[in-house]
Every structure is written in C-alpha cells, then in structure tokens.
Amino acid sequence: MRADAARNIDAVLQTGARLLAEDPSTSIAAIAAEAGVDRRTVYRRFACRETLRDAVFHTKLDAIQEVLTESRLESAPVAVALHRFVEGIIGVVRQYPIDPELMRDDADSYQRMLGQRKKIADFIQRAVDEGLIKSDLPEGMAAALLQKIIALFARQYCHLSPAQAADIVVDTFLNGIGKPE
C-alpha cells in the first residue's frame, strides 16, 4: 500500500473510532469528511459502517496486543510491567476511543478482547501473589478498578502525556489516594 493510502486509511480508522464512540450511527460520509478523504475512498475499503467499525475494533485490538507484548506482563517486575501497560493502553484508548463493549457485535473481536482481558487478569493475579495488591478484594475488583482509572486518565486528563498519566495511575492503583502516614 502506498504511504499516502496508508495514512488515509489510518486517518479513517482513527476518525471512525472517535466518531463512532460519540455516535454509533455516524455515517461513512461524515467519517470521510472529518478524516479529510473522499467518501469513495472509504467505500473502496469498507463496504458499510459495520465493516469500518469492525476494522476499527481489529486495529484497536492489534494495538492492545502490541502493548501487552511490549509490557512483558509475565516476566518484567510487576510495577515496571504495570507502568508500561498503562502508558501504552492510555495511548491506545486515546487513539481509538470506541467502546470495547460494542465488540459484542463482532464475535471475532469480542473473543480477542476477552483473551486480552484474561492476560490482564492473570497479570493482576501475579501482582496479588507477589503482595503488591491486596488478596482479600472481591474477584475482578482490581481489574475493574484499573480499567476505570485508565479510562478516566485517557479521556479526562488529555493534557497529561501517557507517561505522566501512567505515573499517577500506577501510584493510585498500587497505593490508593489516602494520605501516607
């Protein structure tokens, strides 16, 4: 694919992720206009809005997989892996803000998402086993809390770089918001 064509597709995917996150019924014409490309360019690659949405899901999941791999959740020290993961995921969420729960409509994407969430849950269990997270929390609470904190910093604290946001997220996740004694 030519470099300009790749840039156009990337612009369409990122714009599609943002606009579909705001309104799942956004038209391809609106996405094309916002991305700065002709709608025929979009239709040549994506037959309909659902095809584009599914491509956004696949692209987002690919980016998440790259973050999971680079974070080395299974082997790096927990705090280091957590910071790498959070910093990377904040970048992905900002780039592709479409709600992952919409993936339920695409069975392949949904299964991939569940597999990725399992890797994160396994990592959190590793953090529990190593004593960095309390072991008496209700099942799934730590993962849900991490997900919510990441979403908060990805969407509402955009003035912070992903690295700055990760510093705060990791400290909050591991140490809470109480005043140190």
Q: Compute the mean pLDDT over every residue in the chain, rounded to the nearest whole number.
A: 90
pLDDT exceeds cutoff 80 at 157: yes
Distance of alpha carbon 147 from alpha carbon 176, whole angstroms: 15
pLDDT at 181: 67
- pTM equals 0.86
pLDDT at 49: 84
The third-level CATH classification (topology) of the domain covering 54-175 is: Tetracycline Repressor; domain 2 (1.10.357)
Q: Which residue has the higher pLDDT, 94 or 177?
A: 94
pLDDT at 1: 59
Dig out the tokens for 106 from the structure: 């695409």
With a pLDDT cut of 70, the percent of the chain lying above it is 98
Structural domain boundaries in the chain: 1-47, 54-175
Based on its alpha-carbon atoms, the radius of gyration of the chain, rounded to whole angstroms, reads: 18
Which tens digits make up the pLDDT trace of 73-125? 999 999 999 999 999 999 999 999 888 888 887 888 899 999 999 999 999 99
Asked if the 1-47 domain carries CATH number 1.10.600, the reply is no
- Crossing angle for the helix pair 28-35 and 49-71, to the nearest 10 degrees: 50
pLDDT at 87: 97
